[in-house]
Copies of this chain bind each other. A is one copy, B any other.
Amino acid sequence: MAVTIRTIAEAAGVSRGTVDRVINNRGGVKPELERKIRRLIAELGYRPNRAGKVLAALKKPITIGCLLPGVGNPFFDGIIRGFRQAERELSDFGVSLEISLIKGFDVREHVDALRALARKNVSAICAATVDVPEVREAVNGIIRSGIPVATVNSDLSGTGRLFYVGCNYPESGRTAAGILNLIRRDEMELLIVTGSVHMQGHNQRIQAFTQELADRSVRFHVAKVIETGDDEEIAYRCALKALRDFPGVNGVYVTSGGVSGVCRAVCEKNLAGKLTVLCFDDIPSTRRLIRDGVISATICQEPSQQGYRSVKMLFEDIVNAHPPEKRLYYTDTVIKIRQNL
């Protein structure tokens, strides 16, 4: 039988309660006794048993708060599915989620939603939010109040967040370049369509993409970079104009939303299939466009894994009461084409 808290207690000649106090740093143990117990823990190789912990913790249920700007954005459905999957698996351990969905990236709304979650006395928070000073401050405040916060899908720089689970944006950009390099051997005139020049992930995707094209000695130049704010209508109009202004464009690279708007413009100009379209993520409209041969490939980031792993790891953090091994968890960069969609 494994080494339990009882083994330690007997070896030290004390009660299990005392050992528990040492293990969980609850204080109130004579220093020399504490040292003795710690030594025994190390020597005997004691590892707390999760089943026991969980069973004991069942008395007070755990709620994990989740924040996503998912309203009207089907990309986040995958993350939500992952959340729910984790919730189901952890329901036996008394875990339930409080998912707060908001629309868009308004800073005030994000801050308010985060604070609202914190007030519902959740045990931890998992959020996909915007990396701006106001949000960072709010998050740091919440962390100081004792609620651990993890980021999912988009990170918060310079905060005390527990860990980040999400896309490796540079790698995803490089991969797009790699696919383009496989598909086309001619000189490329590229139209780049991005969500926001203020989103770090989008910029990294552009930067890594062009860098990799250069590294692979692809002859290319960028005709234009369009910013859409992830709005389909804007994407459509701007793409249409750009395709008119630059008739030589033979490749379109879409770093985030606006995919179907761009493709509408491509189809209207009768360029579907001629021009190579690459984009990110797997949402219903993108799937259709891949099936129809308008988009060659989409590069995905396993959103449901992101949701699943972040909640699972937050739970581990809550019951283990010790920080996770890593602070960055990247999901795989997944290439999807018609056949493996």
Contacts and interface: CB of A to CB of B under 8 A. Distances in A.
Interface of A: 2, 47, 49-52, 54-55, 58, 92-94, 171-172, 174-175, 177-179, 182-183, 212, 296-297, 332-340
Contact of A174 (B51, B54, B335, B339): B339
Contacts of A335: 334-337, 340
A175 B54 CA distance: 43
B178 A337 contact: yes
Given A51-B55, A334-B334, A178 B339 contact: yes
Contact of A339 (B2, B177, B336): B177
Contacts of A179: 182, 337
Identify which of A175, A296, A297 gathers the most chain B CB atoms within 10 Å of its CB. A175
Contacts of A297: 182
A212 B339 contact: yes
Nearest to A89: B50
13 contacts: A50-B92, A50-B93, A52-B55, A171-B340, A172-B340, A174-B339, A175-B337, A175-B340, A178-B338, A178-B339, A179-B337, A182-B182, A182-B337
A212 B340 CA distance: 12
Nearest to A212: B339
Contacts of A337: 175, 178-179, 182, 335
Given A174-B340, A335-B336, 14 more contacts: A47-B92, A49-B92, A51-B51, A51-B58, A55-B55, A174-B339, A175-B337, A178-B338, A178-B339, A178-B340, A182-B182, A183-B183, A212-B339, A335-B340
Nearest to A49: B92
Nearest to A48: B92
Contacts of A212: 339
Nearest to A293: B216
Contacts of A52: 55
**Ranked 7 nearest A-B pairs via Cβ:** A178-B339, A333-B340, A335-B335, A50-B92, A174-B339, A175-B340, A175-B339
A1 to B, nearest CB: 8
Given A182-B296, A183-B182, A297-B182, A92 B340 contact: no
A35 to B, nearest CB: 27
